[in-house]
């Protein structure tokens, strides 16, 4: 199940001991306030905007890790595709809806049929098929490869699977807190820990206390880069 930012923000505030309330009942009331408001914070170090900023940065970091890991299952949460690309076209920086592309590109497919292209031909072999195919070779070939900043293929046009993350659009979601976080539910704990570490790691008096959070976040980052997912909380 996806989770909302309104679920994560109070957990981050609680982890950094920033919730207002001198009794258990008052702390519960602060924790249960959705969306989180400034009055729910006692602010020994951080205000609401700082917690929101750390949350946004943490989401962006995790999203980039996922998008940069080929075949990671959570790439589906950020999945999109490019516009149609002709042979030798430069790789785009935005998807078909002009949203920013992040991470590594995925499968290259025929733009018309959606058939996945084979990647076992190098640029020189593809160029030979493209330039001499009409007279020397019969049939339709589904070959494509990315080299440098361009895509080379044997079709009329292709589209490439990709991941997107719009920082400014996500910023609005974090501020309103009612929106769903794009991370999978199993990464809610990772988000909370990463945001808390970003806050605590800036305070000299709290650096030692933040060390376990840093170790946990580092472990989650390694797990993501290996294609894994943390256990759901």
pLDDT in tens, 139-197: 688 999 999 999 999 999 999 999 999 999 999 999 988 889 999 999 999 999 999 99
- CA 64, CA 58: separation in Å to the nearest integer? 10
Q: Are residues 105 and 149 in the same domain?
A: yes
**Per DSSP, what are the bridge partners of residue 150?**
90, 147
Query: Mean pLDDT over all residues of the chain?
Result: 88
Q: What is the DSSP letter of 199?
A: H
Separation between Cα atoms, residue 104 and residue 78, nearest integer Å: 12
Reading across the β-sheet that carries 144-147, which strands appear in turn?
89-90, 150-153, 144-147
| Boundary of a domain, candidates 164, 179, 203 | 164
User: What tokens were used for 58?
Assistant: 């943490």
Please tell me the total count of domains within the chain: 2
Q: Domain span at residue 85? A: 78-164
For the whole model, what pTM was predicted?
0.88
Distances in Å between the Cα of 79 and the Cα atoms of 63, 74, 96, 120, 160 are 11, 9, 12, 24, 11
């Amino acid at each position: 199940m996806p989770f909302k930012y309104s679920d994560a923000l109070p957990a981050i505030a609680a982890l950094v001991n920033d919730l207002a309330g001198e009794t258990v009942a008052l702390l519960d009331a602060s924790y249960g306030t959705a969306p989180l408001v400034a009055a729910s914070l006692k602010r020994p170090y951080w205000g609401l905007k700082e917690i929101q900023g750390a949350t946004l940065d943490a989401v962006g970091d995790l999203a980039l890790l996922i998008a940069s890991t080929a075949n990671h299952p959570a790439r589906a949460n950020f999945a999109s595709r490019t516009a149609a690309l002709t042979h030798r076209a430069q790789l785009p920086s935005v998807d078909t809806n002009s949203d920013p592309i992040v991470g590594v590109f995925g499968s290259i497919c025929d733009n018309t049929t959606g058939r996945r292209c084979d990647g076992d031909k190098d640029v020189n072999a593809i160029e030979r098929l493209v330039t001499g195919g009409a007279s020397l070779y019969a049939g339709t070939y589904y070959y494509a490869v990315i080299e440098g900043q361009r895509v080379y293929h044997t079709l009329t046009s292709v589209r490439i699977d990709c991941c997107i993350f719009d920082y400014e659009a996500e910023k609005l979601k974090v501020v309103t807190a009612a929106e769903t976080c794009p991370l999978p539910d199993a990464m809610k704990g990772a988000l909370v820990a990463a945001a808390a570490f970003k806050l605590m790691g800036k305070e000299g008096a709290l650096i030692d206390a933040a060390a376990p959070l840093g170790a946990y976040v580092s472990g989650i980052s390694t797990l993501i880069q290996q294609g894994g997912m943390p256990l759901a909380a």
